[in-house]
Structures are given as structure tokens and as C-alpha cells.
Structure 1
Amino acid sequence: MSSPSESPTGPCDQILRTDAARNREKILDAAREVFAEDGLDAPMAEVARRAEVGIATLYRRFPTREDLIAATFAGKMATYADAVEQALADPDPWHGFCTYVERVCGMQAADHGFTDVLTMTFPTAEALEAERSRAYRGFAKVVARAKAAGRLRTDFSDRDLVILLMANAGVINATGDDAPDAWRRLVAYMLQAFAVTTGEPLPPAPKGRDLFNAMVHGQHSHPATHA
């Protein structure tokens, strides 16, 4: 008969599982801090240092940077998708639309890592992309309600949100701690532009496939996300 230390369900095995779970949470906590401060290009070694684990342990838990990003931002992507449900529940369709846009842009401003996550795509991170798709489908309904209420310009496309998030990410990354609220002015300008107007019609919105490719290229422009 195997001794407890040799049994796959013995005390030693339980200790190993507990240590593995503890290390995983320490790594995720550290990754949230590091990515929030420095974005997705932050060195993996810095995540390991703050988690007080070896780099080998980090890679054993998360073999690729994309694995770590997906696990780190799973909760925020769920919140991002849930926010659209709150917008749909707002009795004022225009207020729901504006509040949602402001909230999502605010989530970008609060976390430099999430700023990048919202403007990139991670094809192998299925759970992360499923939440993104849920949010996108919900936002299309938010848009339809605001248009039906006569408050959102008829040529607005749900793809315009992607463009706004890209622009907002650029402002946030450029202004940093020097002008941390600059993004609010951009969003306020854009919400005014989105409202019903008698101005000239907009140029056509980009095709969905073209925007997706831009988001993929956005990931490729961050070489560190492949390390």
C-alpha cells in the first residue's frame, strides 16, 4: 500500500495543489498591478518579481503572455459585457448609450493594460473573446434603441465604438499621469458628435473585417505579447 506521501490524494499532493493555487493568485494579482501601470508590454520578469515567484513558475502556470493576459482580464471583460446590460435597462435610451460609452472609456483610463485589451484581439483566448462578442452584440441593441428614440444620429455604426476606443487609448497612452483626465474631453466631444445633427453625413464606417484585422495588427505591434 502506498504511503500518504506517495498517494496522489495524500497530504503532500494536497500541499502541492495549495501551493500551485496560491502561486497562481499571486501571479494574477501582480499582473493586474503591472499591466495597469505599464500596459501589456510590461516585462514578464517584473510580474514574477512582484509575485515573488521564479520566472519558471510563472511560465509553468501561464505558458504564454496571452494566457496570462486572458486570465488577468477575464473579470474586467465580464464587467465590460455586463455594463451593456445596464445600458439596455436604462429607461432613457440616449442616457443609457452615453453612460455606457463613458463607463467603458473610463475603464480604459483606469487601467493601462485594459486600454490595450479593448483595442486588440486574442484569437486563442476563447473566454475573453466570448465576452467581447457578448458586449458587441449588446451594444448593437443599445445603438438601435438610441436611434429609435431619435437621439443618436442615423449614420452612427456600432463599429464607431471601436474607433472611439482606439482614439481614447491613444489619448490615454499619450497623456499618462500628466493630464489624466484628457480622455474625458475627447469622449464629451465624441458624444456631442454622435447626437442627432443637421451636419454633413459621415464617411462610411470601416468594414467589420477591416476593423478586426486592425485589432489583430494592434496585437502584433506589441511584440512583447508574443513572448
Structure 2
Amino acid sequence: MKTEETSKSAFWSLAHARAFFVDHGFLRKVNNNNFHRISHRAFRSGQPLPPDLKKYVSRHGIRTVVCLRGTKGSRPYIDLVERMCGDLGVTFRNFKMSSHKPPPRWRIHAAKELLEEIEYPALFHCKSGADRAGLFSTLYLHLMEGVPMDRTRQLRFWPYGHIRQARTGILDHFVESYVAYSQREPMDFMTWVDEVYDPDALKDLEPAGFMSWFVDRVLRRE
């Protein structure tokens, strides 16, 4: 029994170490884990370490954590957050999004359903808190708070670190496509998603070059 407990303790200690070093947790410490308030009941951040999550829950009453990275098992630092949520009595939801591909229609619908069913206050996090957290926060503000899409301002370099000059700029094109269309022909967002939105058309707008290399290879945005 003691050997099993020691083994589990070693596993979670290793997961914490990987989160800090391999997953760039030490860099996120520099900017306070890119933690920001979105509204009175929602927040966004990079991948939290257990002490970070404990602080957010204590200070802001977080009831749901939405991980936008999607993959578990092969990345124990994601499982580490889920385990910490269980210890804190907080609901953990795993919802995969991409920072460099246009979201498919079904995923936008799934995001809307998730936003409507979770308990708030909620924390939305990805790896760096810059791109996927920015798009999910945009959807939250527009769909749940009624903020006009062009006023959500969640996909910005400052203070979030989002870089539109790289492949992550596809998220900007997605949002701007709806804004431009609705200005010409007023239409609510979900109707546009179902009747007008063409993810394949946006793929032609994917930039290349140094900034994409830097974001993909150095920052390792997912």
C-alpha cells in the first residue's frame, strides 16, 4: 500500500515538473500565467499549475475549469489540473480547440452548448492563454453576455500575447469574417455559422514565414 502511494506521489510530482519545465510553465510565471478577467463570472489563463488553480478558486470562486487543449493521458500535466479540480470540488471539462485551424461548425455548436450548461464562475485555459482561450472567450462574451463580436477584443497581442501574423491569425480571420458579413447583411452569429460560414475558404488565408515558424516551433502553440 505504501509502495503504491509512493508511486502515485512520484507520478504527480513528475507531472508537476513536466508542467513547469517541458510545458513552459516557468515562462508563464513571468506574466502571472496570462490570467485575466473576462467578465464578472468568467476568466481566462494559460495552463495553470496546482498552486495557481488553488489561488483562482479561493479568490474568484471558480466552479468550472474548461481545458481547451483536449488531450489527456499523454500529457499528465493536464490530468494534474483535473485531479486538482477534484480535490477542490470544481468541475473539470475538457474541450479541444485548435489555435491554427478554423473551427468546424459542429465545434462552434458544441462550444455554445458547453457555455450554456457549465456552472459559473468559470476559467477557460489553453497552454499559453493567448489563442484558444482568446477565441473561446470571444464566443463566451458574444453568446452569453451579448457583447457585439467586434467589441469582444479577446484576440490581441497586448495583454494576451496573441499573434495574428502567424498561423494563429486564422482565428482573427474567423471572427472578422462574421463581423464583415453581418455589417453588409445583418445576421446573428449562429445563423451565419450554419448558413454562410465556410471553414475551407479561411484555410487559404493561413500565413507562413518566420512568425508562423516562431509560434509553432519556439512557442509551440497548439
Provide the TM-score with structure 2 as the length reference.
Answer: 0.29
Provide the TM-score with structure 1 as the length reference.
Answer: 0.29
Higher strand share: 2
Higher helix share: 1
Structure with bigger RCO (C-alpha 8 Å, 6+ apart)? 1
Which structure would you say has the larger Rg?
1
